[in-house]
């Protein structure tokens, strides 16, 4: 009986793994093949493997610039999101003040608007403030669109930290500011890691705001770089796959680094 259950479980896991990882493996194989080879046979193994496509993309197709831009915009945005989001969440969860819940609700309610609704006015505002076509402008927009969700996730976690832990720190002589950095934030680390990973992956792959707000070659981020291989008449499928592989590496690194904390954060409620 145990063997049957075990093998059923293994079959289910194998099916799910191939479902989830299959497209990734396929794209990885295509990233090492030329477009002509791909058109001849969509699913063949890369033989010979064209590793030079990666250096072509990096040097000849300006990927080095896109990559640097993406890193700059996303890392700064995630940093601001994490610090500002955690502070706002701590404040909303811990301090009693008039309109606390009103502010919380207004912040959270902005999540319901699809980006298409705000993007035109956003474009206009950025043009007027001279932030159009700049990495700073894109960074600020990224912070703005992800902040409500970040606060929402963190607030519920901060609210679960017993108030006694903060009161004890105050009795020990610590101010509100120090308590945030030395007690609240370290205890909320699993939840903070969750938002870091979530925001990083989301913004790293973000296309809509980038394509509307950035046109200059020198300021393009990676998703826009991949778009360049989508020609008007012909798609360079092989290079798209190569570009995707370059783009996906940091995501995998970030996920691997934070995933343990992510799982902790997601299951924290279940354990207690």
Binding positions for other proteins, rule: CB under 8 A: 162, 164-165, 167-175, 178, 182-183, 186-187, 189
Q: Residue 256 or 271: which CB sits closer to other proteins? A: 271
CA distance 77 to 85: 11
Residue from 134, 146, 15 nearest 78 by CA: 146
CA distance 214 to 220: 6
Q: Residue 68 or 165: which CB sits closer to other proteins? A: 165
CA distance 177 to 183: 10
Q: At its nearest, how many Å lie between other proteins and the CB of residue 21?
A: 35
Q: At its nearest, how many Å lie between other proteins and the CB of residue 255?
A: 23
> What letters, b where the CB count within 10 A reaches 16 and e where it falls short, cover 72-93?
bbbebbbebbbeebbbbbbbbb
Q: Residue 149 or 179: which CB sits closer to other proteins? A: 179
Q: At its nearest, how many Å lie between other proteins and the CB of residue 167?
A: 6
Q: At its nearest, how many Å lie between other proteins and the CB of residue 169?
A: 7
Q: At its nearest, how many Å lie between other proteins and the CB of residue 90?
A: 15
Residue 189: half-sphere exposure toward Cβ, Cα within 13 Å: 9
Residue from 9, 14, 34 nearest 242 by CA: 34
Q: Residue 228 or 261: which CB sits closer to other proteins? A: 261
CA distance 272 to 2: 30
Q: At its nearest, how many Å lie between other proteins and the CB of residue 258?
A: 17
Q: At its nearest, how many Å lie between other proteins and the CB of residue 174?
A: 6
Q: Residue 40 or 170: which CB sits closer to other proteins? A: 170
Q: Residue 136 or 187: which CB sits closer to other proteins? A: 187
DSSP code per residue over 254-271:
HHHHHHHHHHHHHHHHHH
CA distance 229 to 237: 8
Q: Residue 42 or 182: which CB sits closer to other proteins? A: 182
Helix axis angle, 135-160 relative to 189-204, nearest 10°?
Answer: 150
């Amino acid at each position: 009986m145990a063997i049957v259950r075990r093998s059923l479980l293994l079959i289910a896991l194998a099916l799910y793994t191939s479902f989830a990882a299959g497209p990734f493996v396929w794209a990885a194989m295509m990233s090492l093949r030329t477009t002509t080879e791909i058109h001849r046979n969509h699913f063949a193994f890369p033989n010979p493997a064209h590793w030079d496509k990666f250096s072509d993309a990096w040097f000849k197709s300006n990927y080095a610039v896109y990559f640097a831009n993406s890193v700059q915009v996303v890392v700064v945005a995630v940093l601001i999101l994490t610090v500002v989001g955690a502070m706002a969440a701590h404040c909303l969860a811990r301090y009693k003040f008039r309109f606390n819940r009103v502010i919380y609700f207004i912040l959270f309610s902005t999540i319901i608007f699809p980006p298409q609704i705000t993007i035109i006015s956003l474009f206009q505002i950025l043009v007027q403030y001279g932030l159009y076509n700049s990495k700073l402008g894109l960074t600020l927009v990224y912070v703005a669109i992800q902040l409500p969700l970040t606060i929402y996730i963190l607030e519920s976690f901060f609210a679960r930290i017993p108030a006694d832990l903060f009161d004890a720190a105050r009795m020990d002589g610590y101010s509100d500011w120090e308590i945030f950095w030395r007690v609240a934030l370290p205890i909320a680390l699993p939840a903070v890691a969750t938002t870091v990973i979530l925001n990083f992956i989301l913004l790293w792959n973000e296309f809509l705001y980038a394509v509307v707000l950035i046109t200059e070659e020198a300021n393009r981020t990676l998703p826009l770089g991949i778009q360049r291989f989508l020609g008007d008449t012909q798609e360079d499928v092989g290079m798209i796959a190569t570009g995707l592989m370059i783009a996906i590496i940091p995501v995998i690194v970030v996920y691997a680094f934070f995933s343990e904390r992510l799982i902790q954060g997601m299951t924290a409620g279940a354990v207690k």
